[in-house]
Amino acid sequence: MTIKLANLREQLKATTRQELTRIGLDLFLLHGFANTTIDQIVAPLGISKRTFFRYFKTKEDLVFEWQTQMAPALVLELNARPREEAPFKAVSETLFSLLTRINENPELAFALMRLLKETPSLAGRDMENRMVWEQALTDALMEREGSKVMPRLKARIIVGMAMTAWTSALDEWYAGGGNTRLRPLMEKAFALIKEQE
Amino acid sequence: MTIKLANLREQLKATTRQELTRIGLDLFLLHGFANTTIDQIVAPLGISKRTFFRYFKTKEDLVFEWQTQMAPALVLELNARPREEAPFKAVSETLFSLLTRINENPELAFALMRLLKETPSLAGRDMENRMVWEQALTDALMEREGSKVMPRLKARIIVGMAMTAWTSALDEWYAGGGNTRLRPLMEKAFALIKEQE
DNA sequence: GCCGTATTGACATTCAGTGACACCAAAGTA
DNA sequence: TACTTTGGTGTCACTGAATGTCAATACGGC
């Protein structure tokens, strides 16, 4: 995930952006999302509130940086799956690849989920982003299989089922305090989908 | 859906509330959600902006009145299903009961969907509300079957699959301009879920 | 060092949402 | 009927997110 830094300007921009997300998330997790003002976020960096909005369109965007970058990455992942793999299997494996990301820093993932759960507006944005994922994966799946054998409704449903497993397992993990291992839960969830009579 | 009107005060409140949603939706559909201010909504009724927020916590709440009332209604519907019905079937039929509501006024349903599609923040809230439905139905399903045979993860997945069918069919219906009949689409979507190998 | 362009800060403005307080009409009481 | 209590409302003032404008500044190429 390294970004090419053309020049000094880009470097500064990148670090500022990074610092803003770091400080912002810290403050959100500490005092809550609504109780944190933009002024509080920019103060430590000594930049103006106006500048903040040149980095992020909204306060919420700061929380979802990683998530919005995810959709294209998922599509790449899906396209990289072997051609002969069954549709549901391919989509499932694609989502499984996200697991490694979470396992890199489970505490952060858990903290973020807490933030989402206790801030309804953020939960809404979260759902909205998942819809973007679903949309992207649906399109990619149709592309992959050809819209003859895989009409939109069917693709949507296959993707939706995989996402259901993903979401259910993640929620279950969160409900358990984030202590249980996530992978076995995921596997169980995906297995439950398949055995559905 | 008739509400007991205890006294004059309640009557006035009810009609004001009704008028606010009617005018608000009209304006939203006409000029877009963001382009409509609270002042524009309250002006025709001659009430103050402050009063609006005594009826609705946020501007968004005005759009989702009916949807938020839906969760308890769905639970009742699910509880009314015959005991011997298979879990997935029972949940599916529960969601199917929503169809009649939509068919009462398809134009409004379509217009509302258009509003959701063209207003990301509303789409987020929509998803969030669906999560509330899912949560409620999951709890109800566990209750119904007993948490021994129906642990939370399993219940969540059954409900999630049914919701996937519901959502996919609805999206498909919207994509088709709302012209096709919704019920056959729904039936096809639910069938696709079951035949998932 | 000089210049064109991108980035930023300062300032002003709009609008959602909240808090405080006074006011009035409906509901309850005698 | 008159009196009190209560709920709903309007007014005013305020916070904070978000956006537009414009002048100042810093970067990169020359």
Tell me the pLDDT tens digit for each residue of B85-136.
999 999 999 999 999 999 999 999 999 999 999 898 899 899 989 999 999 9
* pLDDT classification of A172: cutoffs 50, 70, 90: very high
Are the beta carbons of B163 and A161 separated by less than 8 Å?
no
pLDDT digits (tens, 9 = 90+) for A28-62: 999 999 999 999 999 999 899 999 999 999 999 99
Res B69 pLDDT > 60: yes
- pLDDT of amino acid B2: 32
How far is the alpha carbon of B61 from chain A, nearest alpha carbon, in Å? 12
DSSP labels for B176-190? TTT-S-HHHHHHHHH
Closest CA to A178 of A101, A103, A72: A103
Mean pLDDT to the nearest integer, B174-191: 93
Q: Which residues of A touch B158 (CB under 8 A)?
A: 196
Res B5 pLDDT > 80: no
Mutate to test the interface with A, among B161, B167, B193 (most CBs of A within 10 A): B161
Q: Which residues of A touch B123 (CB under 8 A)?
A: 128, 131
Q: With contact defined as beta carbons under 8 Å apart, do B107 and B29 qualify?
A: no
Cα(B197)–Cα(B192) distance, integer angstroms: 10
Q: Which residues contact A6 (CB under 8 A, 6 or more apart)?
A: none
Q: Which residue has the tokens 């970058």?
A: A69
- pLDDT of amino acid A169: 95
Res A2 pLDDT > 50: no
Burial call B133-159: b when 16+ CB within 10 Å, e when fewer: bbebbbebbbebbeeeebebbbbbbbb
pLDDT digits (tens, 9 = 90+) for B6-56: 576 778 888 899 999 999 999 999 999 999 999 999 999 999 999 999 999
Closest CA to A94 of A123, A124, A128, A133: A133
Res B197 pLDDT > 70: no
* pLDDT classification of A3: cutoffs 50, 70, 90: very low
Phi, psi angles (nearest 5°) of residue A23: -60, -45
Mutate to test the interface with A, among B67, B89, B128, B137 (most CBs of A within 10 A): B128
Nucleotide D10, nearest residue via CA and C1': B48
Q: Which residues of A touch B167 (CB under 8 A)?
A: 160
pTM of the model: 0.88
- pLDDT of amino acid B65: 86
Q: Is the CB of A46 under 7 A from strand C?
A: yes
- pLDDT of amino acid B196: 67
Mean pLDDT to the nearest integer, A127-140: 94
Taking the stretch 46-85 of protein chain B, residues with Cβ within 7 Å of any atom in nucleic acid chain C are 49-50, 53, 57-60
pLDDT digits (tens, 9 = 90+) for B131-161: 999 999 999 999 999 989 999 999 999 999 9
Give B12 or A134, the one with higher predicted confidence: A134
